[in-house]
Amino acid sequence: MIVLDESLDVEVKKIIEENHETVEKLSEIKLPVPSCLFNIFFVNKENIGTVQKLIHNQKNAYLFIFWDGGSLSGLDENELEFFTFINRSLSIDLIKKQLNIFMKENIILEKLQFSLNGRYKAELEERASYLKSIELKLSDVHKSIVPLRKVIAPNMKLFSKYALGSDIGGEFVDFEKSQDHIFLTMFSTNSYLLSSDLIEIVLQLRRQKIFKFDSFKEKIIEFSQQRNENFDYMLAKINFKNLSVETFSSGYRTIHNSDLCDSASGENSHLNIKSCDKVLFLSPGLFRYISEAKINFKNIYKNNIEDSFNEVFSQVRKSMMSGLGGPDATMALLEVQKNAFKTL
């Protein structure tokens, strides 16, 4: 709240009123101003006593005192918490320059309001802590209802796990199994609406019973052309009979054993697999966490399934718990069995 002493020079009052949409008159404030509000007073030194009676919390007020020297009547200036003296004997141009330092675009006043309003600041910190506790509870709940998922097929198993981040948007992972294939679907967006529309494509293909690699690929290409929004995706057709993997992706990473597979964005990529092989499919969010933690892909490859996921997602949780937040994270892991063999 901006409070203006009517006894100030007319030109001074004009400067203040032009820089603020709402200005309260000192004479119209009858009760102590609420301590939950930050207040800025522009006042002649003769009326400083009146102002002091209205201030309930010194730390929530800043005073611009127009003064021409001498003592402040009936008040020890040490009692003032935050204030600036403005020499009213200066020319109006000099006073205007001095006020503009504080009022230009309200930047400094806004900083004062944030830094000096102890009560509001404490409330904000308390609310932030409360929201953080809710986020942690949601994260714990999410971990319990989204466990390590798997689909079992001849010759191989496919696992996936997802961690909820704090960034806008989200990631999606799902499986579809046919007579000789496992279809892996993953996508990542920075828009909740975009994620919802992509999920709807998956649901439509399932309802129409045309959920195949090529049909989904066509839908993704068509969708990306219609929408002027970027998103990342991974479509993988895993043939558990002839031991091959075909992918169509953008933004996602594929790791065959411990080697990063380079594939052009928006183009098909083919991979032959054999017994004991592992193939990792990493979302953009998860790849970021792994890169920041400098996790060695060879370690992930050598571990058993549970240890592989624990190592990766413990780092994801560590990053999220640090307070820095971050994106969602999804990893899928294909494990080819020791006794796997091709069938025609």
Measured between alpha carbons, how far is 255 from 58 in angstroms, rounded to an integer? 62
Measured between alpha carbons, how far is 241 from 175 in angstroms, rounded to an integer? 17
> Which residues make Cβ contacts (< 8 Å) with residue 57, sequence separation at least 6?
35, 118, 119
> What count of Cα atoms within 13 Å lies in the side-chain half-sphere of residue 255?
22
Angle between helices 92-103 and 10-19 (to 10 degrees): 20
Domain with CATH 3.40.50 in the chain: 2-124
- Tokens matching residue 279: 């193939």
Measured between alpha carbons, how far is 136 from 130 in angstroms, rounded to an integer? 10
> Which residues make Cβ contacts (< 8 Å) with residue 283, sequence separation at least 6?
171, 173, 186, 188, 232, 234, 252, 328, 329, 330, 331
From residue 42, how far is each of 69, 74, 92, 226, 249 by CA, in Å? 17, 19, 15, 57, 63
Residue type, 64: F
Predicted local confidence at residue 105, as pLDDT: 44
147-336 belongs to CATH 3.40.710.10 = no
Predicted local confidence at residue 107, as pLDDT: 46
Predicted local confidence at residue 332, as pLDDT: 92
With tokens 């990529």, the residue in question is: 269
Predicted local confidence at residue 108, as pLDDT: 47
Domain made up of 2-124: CATH architecture: 3-Layer(aba) Sandwich (3.40)
With tokens 């000096």, the residue in question is: 116
Domain with CATH 3.60.40.10 in the chain: 147-336
Per-residue tens of pLDDT for the chain, all 344 residues: 788 888 888 888 888 887 776 788 888 776 666 555 667 888 888 887 787 777 766 666 778 888 877 666 555 555 666 777 888 888 888 888 777 766 654 444 554 544 444 445 555 556 556 555 555 554 454 444 456 788 999 999 999 988 877 777 788 888 888 888 999 999 998 887 788 888 888 888 777 776 678 888 888 888 888 887 788 999 999 999 999 999 999 999 998 887 877 666 777 889 999 999 999 999 998 888 888 878 777 777 777 787 788 778 877 877 776 655 678 888 999 999 988 888 76
